[in-house]
Structure formats: structure tokens, C-alpha cells
Structure 1
Amino acid sequence: MSHGLGERWLQAAYGDAAWLRALRPLEALYRWVVEYRTSRYRNGRRRIWRAPVPVIVVGNVTLGGTGKSPLVAWLARHLSEQGWRPGIVSRGYGGKAEQGAGYPLHVTLDTSSAHSGDEPRMLARQTGLPVVVDPDRPRGARALLEKGCDILLSDDGLQHLALGRDLELVVVDGRRGFGNGRCLPAGPLREPLSRLDEVSAVLINGEPAFVPPAGAWTFRLVPVRWRSLADGTSHTLAPLPFHGPVHAVAGIGNPQRFFTTLAELGVEARPHAFPDHHRFTAQELTFGDDLPVVMTAKDAEKLDAVTLERGWVLEIEAEPPVDFAAWLDTRLSGLR
């Protein structure tokens, strides 16, 4: 599915377009495949590797951005503050380890995002903790254990059942919710909504525009600072470090969320939306004028070969409720 077609399909799935009804027979097939695959793990026909330390999986049941990565970063920082030594394992979507280096790939700020993917390098930058990319999650987890980690975070790992887990946290976009409530390809769901009955907690990014599952927590994504792409220095949110209009670039799962945040900060933005995980070229970020270019932290990790002297990154952080943090600490207290 091309990027353009994929974006149009995603908009249709969240908007419940009538033409998607023709895909419901394929949805039935997809659901059968998901159930068959899951049953093979449950009945022992496919092996589940269980780490000797707690494993927290953070994922979603929908396609498209939900704000999952900022929550992973918050979890990593919170666990460190509680005395844990966390490590993060990721699939590294959008990246491929170079020939010879292979997997598991230990991610640093010197790692090309073409090899690691954008989100793992962003998490390494934001947390300063060990981050490993590996399509084989158990192998990546073992690499983190060798680094001395005593608790593991599996980023976007809900459907990667080969890695055993102690807690499953599902993140949901508060504005888009579950779309038309149907599975691929007739809707945006990776798994049926009944999957939510099995997870440890559901966290909704922003006030929900739908009836939330019982017991779900709501959290916020909060802008915290600007970072200059020219020299890496940080600046407070206000006053703005630039004047007048800017070009706002977003190659994330839900670009409109970023554009809305900019408007709330008083930024006069000219929006440019790209597909999720899009790798930018210098030409795509050249707009024929001298206006600054602002982007998300995730997008900034994809500028390996692009220099933006007037580029700015809006850094955001997740802000979960206090009672969620208390619940998490209680659940983990019995796993030390």
C-alpha cells in the first residue's frame, strides 16, 4: 500500500467511510488469522520466552499514532527514579541494520536512523538509557539483560507475543479512538476490541471523544521546550525563539495533533503533512523562503543527511495522572 493510499485509507477507517463495508469479508479472514496465531502461543505450539526480570509492553490496538513513544519515555524516566535500571527494546520500524552490524542493534545518538528507525533513536536521546532494536524481541531483550537492565520496556510490542510480559499497557488516541471499531482492512484495528479486556491498563491520550473503556486513565502530552537544530541548545516555550510564520513539518501517525499543539502555543504555522516514518530529503524541506521550519522530535531524528540552520524541534513529554503512577509502582512492587 503506497503512502498516499495508506493515508487515505486511514482517514476512511477513522471516519467510517461507507466503501469500507466491501472489505468486511477480508476483515473476517484477518480476525481468524489473528485468533489462530494467538491460540498457537496460548496452547504452547509457539514458544514464549520469559525474561528473568519484569517486562512491560506498551502498544496499541489501532494503526496510526497514539502518543505511545512519549509514554514509553515517561515510563523509562519514572522507573529510573524508582531505582530500577530500565532498558527499551523496539522493532525499529522504518530502519534496517546495516550489513555486518546486524541485530541486536544497540542504539546511540551516533546510530543512523536509517538503521535504527526514528523512534528508537529518539528514545535513546530522551532517556539516555539502553535501547536495543531487534525484530526478534526475545533476542533484543537478552541483549539488554547483558547491559545490566533489571526491567524491560517493549515499545510497540503488544502483538509481538514471543516475548512474555508482566504488564500490558495500551495507548489510545483520545480524538480518533477506535475509528469504526473494525479490524483490518475494513477498519483501523490490529486486534478486536475484546483484546482490551485482557490488558493491564488502557491509557487515553487527551480527553476522549468516545466512551472510554472502564478503568481507563487519561494522560496529556505537554510541550516542554524548543530545541535548535542548528546548535542543539534548548529554549523556553515562551517567548517563541522565532518570529512570524513558520513551516510546520510532521511525518508522524497523526500530523494534525502536532499542528493543533502549535496553534495552542501561538505559532503561526504553514502545515506540511507527510506519511508516518517518512524520510525527508533536503528538497522536501526547502520552501523557497527564509521562514523557520519546526517539527516533532521524532521527525528530527530522520535528518541524518539534511541540515536545517533555522530548524526547531518542539519537545513534548507525557504527563500521566498521579494515581496511574501509584498503580504502576504497586503492581511492580511484587516483581522486584
Structure 2
Amino acid sequence: MREPHFWSNPQRHPGWQAHLLAPLGGLYALATKRRVAKAPEGYKARVPVVCIGNINAGGTGKTPTTIAVMQRLQTQGVAAHVVSRGYGGSLKGPVRVEERTHRAAQTGDEPLLLAAFGPTWVSKDRAQGVAAAEQAGAEVILLDDGFQNPSVQQDAAIVVVDAQRGFGNGRCLPAGPLREPVTTGLARADLVLSIGNRAAQEVFTSLWGAQIASLPHATGALEPLPTGMDWRETPFLAFAGIGHPEKFFDTLRALGANLVHTEALQDHQALPPALLTRLAAEAQMRGAQLVTTEKDAVRLPKEMRAQVLTLPVRLNLDDWSPLDAMMSRIGVPQRPA
């Protein structure tokens, strides 16, 4: 589902649609509150558990955040494992994801991408996944999503937010983009991480600075990895099935790429042969090169991966000290390499 335009309206003027849907948003918020508050006590791991989640529905940058945090811990000599529900995958788990043998249809696209950076587990039952990671030697467990799921006790929680979009109009689904009210969610958070360029960060601080003032706040931006590719030389047909495909297209344009066509897909959308055949035929007709995101690339059939370029991006934090301090506070071991 494409995000309705009124979800991005200012909090003070959310739009008539948001007002009309406000009662349903209130019910959604109440259901989330009850699920979090009244569920049986979750599984308590023997090692620190850090949730990387969000208050918004849809893409905010959780996957690149998980990659960045995992790599940060690895440089400090910490064995970090990721546990995910494996959205879109068929495996019930718990099972450790093998990048070379599993397929996205089995594990979900995000776990398959994460497995390239470190030990990653999929489990529909998060508690079982955490227990499996513990047994395999994890010293810290990163929960990929699950901020509103109480089945595992969390020692710390990072709320990831797109700095440009912020918390939208401040309303809960379907009146707005939120899974729960901002104040309710932030009351359980230990750190807010806003992702975006300097201008976007200024917008976020101006609109939401008061709400996050009591929490440590880290900022960062997604930046393309240098690949040696001159993006200005070739016409491109870009496609993406992520939370906000236009961000990927804008990144390509910022690199100088000439996008002759863009195909915005649904988040996690399957890539059936008919769709890929159409995209390949259109690219050939336009004399363009196909290009997509890393997350979409893992859903491509093996026989087509050589035909599609991938633009890798990584999250760079302006200052790691808020996150390092949080990890130290909950007892994550740090052994500088």
C-alpha cells in the first residue's frame, strides 16, 4: 500500500482524512498499548538484547541501522547475532540464515541481506530465535523490529526514524503512519536515531525536538558506497521495492545517473518472471541498464542477477558515543580489536 499523502501533513494540521479516521487510529493505539502492557512476561535472555525498531509503519532505515550496529560491535570484538521474524519468508525457524543456500522466499529479503554481514536467525517465535542465538554463542542479540512485541525482554531499544518524514502527522494507523502514539513509544525507548541529510535533520529537530528531548539522540545518513562506477555514463532503469522507493531514485540522481524510467514497487514485493521480463524488455528498448537496491537484489532469481546492477548504501553516524554509552550501560562487552 502506498502511503497516503495526508500522513505527511503537519501535526497541527493533519487533514480532514486524519480527523475522519481518528477514532480508528485511537482503537489501533489502544490495541497496541494493551498488547504491550498485558502480555505475559517475555523471554529473558542471558545476554543483552537490543531492539532496533520504529514507531512508524513502513521503512525508516532499520535494516541499514542493524548492519551498522552489527559492524560496530564486531570491530569492538563482540559476537553480535541478529534475530528476525523473517517477514515474507516461509521458514518457521528458528534457523540460521545461510546467505549462499537460502532464498528470500524462505527467509525474507532483509534477513538474507543481513546474513552477509553476520550471524542472522529467522524465527516466527522471537523467543525461540533469541534462545537459539544464545546457544550459538551470541554475546549480544539485535532484534530486527519487534519494538511493539513483548515476547522477548529488551535491555535497550533504538527507535529509528526517517528525519525528513519524522513521525508524520502524529496520528496512528489508519489516520497516520504510527503504530502507537509518539509519547507512548518513546517512553519505552533508550535512544532515538534519525536518518537523513543535514537539512532533513534540521526539519526533524524543529518539529519533534521537544518530544525526544529526554532521550539520547543520534543522527546519521545513508551514503552510497564507492564502487568505481561512473553513474553519469549510462542511462538507467531503476526499480525498488522498499519502504520509500523514491529515496533510492533520488540517491541515484544525486550521483548523476540519468534515470529513463523508475519503477516503484511495494515494500518486499515479489519479483515474478512476468515483471522482470517486462523490466528487462523496457530497459533493452531504451538502451538502459537495470539497477536496484541491495534488498531487492536478494529477491532476484540467480539467472538474472548478472543483468542488474546494485547500489549499496551504508549508514554513517555523525557520532557513535550515544549508542556506545547505551551498549556499555546494559553490559555489552567491548574488546577493541
Query: TM-score, normalised to structure 2's length?
Result: 0.86
- The one-letter code of the counterpart of 2:243 is G
Aligned partners of 2:239 and 2:291 also within 8 Å: yes
Secondary structure of the structure 1 residue equivalent to 2:115: helix
Secondary structure of the structure 1 residue equivalent to 2:113: helix
Secondary structure of the structure 2 residue equivalent to 1:236: coil
Partner of 1:279: 270
- The one-letter code of the counterpart of 1:70 is P
Partner of 1:236: 228
Secondary structure of the structure 2 residue equivalent to 1:7: coil
Per the TM alignment, residue 334 of structure 1 is displaced from its structure 2 partner at its CA by 6.5
Per the TM alignment, residue 59 of structure 1 is displaced from its structure 2 partner at its CA by 0.4
Greater helix content: 2
Equivalent of residue 137 in structure 2, options 120, 145, 148: 148
Query: Is the alpha carbon distance of 1:21 and 1:190 closer, same or farther for their aligned partners in structure 2, counting shifts above 3 Å?
Result: same
Partner of 2:35: 37
Equivalent of residue 49 in structure 1, options 27, 43, 54: 43
Partner of 1:224: 225
Query: Is the alpha carbon distance of 1:47 and 1:23 closer, same or farther for their aligned partners in structure 2, counting shifts above 3 Å?
Result: same
Partner of 1:201: 191
Aligned pairs for 1:230-309 (under 5 A) are 235-237=227-229, 239-240=230-231, 243-269=233-259, 270-281=261-272, 282-286=276-280, 287=282, 288-289=284-285, 290-304=287-301, 307-309=304-306
Q: Which moved more, 1:299-308 or 1:311-320?
A: 299-308
Equivalent of residue 79 in structure 1, options 54, 60, 73: 73
| In 2: Cα distance, 1:147 partner to 1:253 partner | 32
| In 2: Cα distance, 1:331 partner to 1:39 partner | 24
Q: Deviations over 1:256-294 (max 9, x none)?
A: 111111111111113211110011132243214241111
1:176 aligns with 2:170: no
Per the TM alignment, residue 185 of structure 1 is displaced from its structure 2 partner at its CA by 1.4
Aligned partners of 1:57 and 1:158 also within 8 Å: yes
User: Which consecutive residues of structure 1, in runs of 5 or more, have no partner in the other structure?
Assistant: 1-5, 226-234
| In 1: Cα distance, 2:332 partner to 2:96 partner | 30
- The one-letter code of the counterpart of 1:250 is A
Per the TM alignment, residue 333 of structure 1 is displaced from its structure 2 partner at its CA by 4.4
Partner of 1:310: 307
Query: TM-score, normalised to structure 1's length?
Result: 0.86
Aligned partners of 1:222 and 1:317 also within 8 Å: yes
Q: Deviations over 1:182-234 (max 9, x none)?
A: 01111110111011132100000013323332242211111114xxxxxxxxx
Q: Deviations over 1:100-126 (max 9, x none)?
A: xx411221111110010000000112x
Query: Is the alpha carbon distance of 1:292 and 1:253 closer, same or farther for their aligned partners in structure 2, counting shifts above 3 Å?
Result: same
Q: Deviations over 1:88-107 (max 9, x none)?
A: 0001112112xxxx411221
Partner of 2:174: 185
Q: Which moved more, 1:167-176 or 1:209-218?
A: 209-218
User: Which consecutive residues of structure 2, in runs of 5 or more, have no partner in the other structure?
Assistant: none
Partner of 1:229: none
| In 2: Cα distance, 1:170 partner to 1:157 partner | 11
Equivalent of residue 103 in structure 2, options 96, 112, 118: 112
Secondary structure of the structure 2 residue equivalent to 1:307: helix
1:64 aligns with 2:58: yes
Per the TM alignment, residue 176 of structure 1 is displaced from its structure 2 partner at its CA by 0.9
Identity of aligned residues (%): 34
Secondary structure of the structure 1 residue equivalent to 2:167: coil
| In 2: Cα distance, 1:198 partner to 1:264 partner | 37
| In 1: Cα distance, 2:296 partner to 2:220 partner | 22
Aligned partners of 1:224 and 1:236 also within 8 Å: no
| In 2: Cα distance, 1:224 partner to 1:334 partner | 29
> Which aligned runs of 4 or more in structure 1 are off by greater than 6 angstroms?
none
| In 1: Cα distance, 2:46 partner to 2:3 partner | 43
| In 2: Cα distance, 1:162 partner to 1:317 partner | 30
Per the TM alignment, residue 26 of structure 1 is displaced from its structure 2 partner at its CA by 1.2
Secondary structure of the structure 1 residue equivalent to 2:93: coil
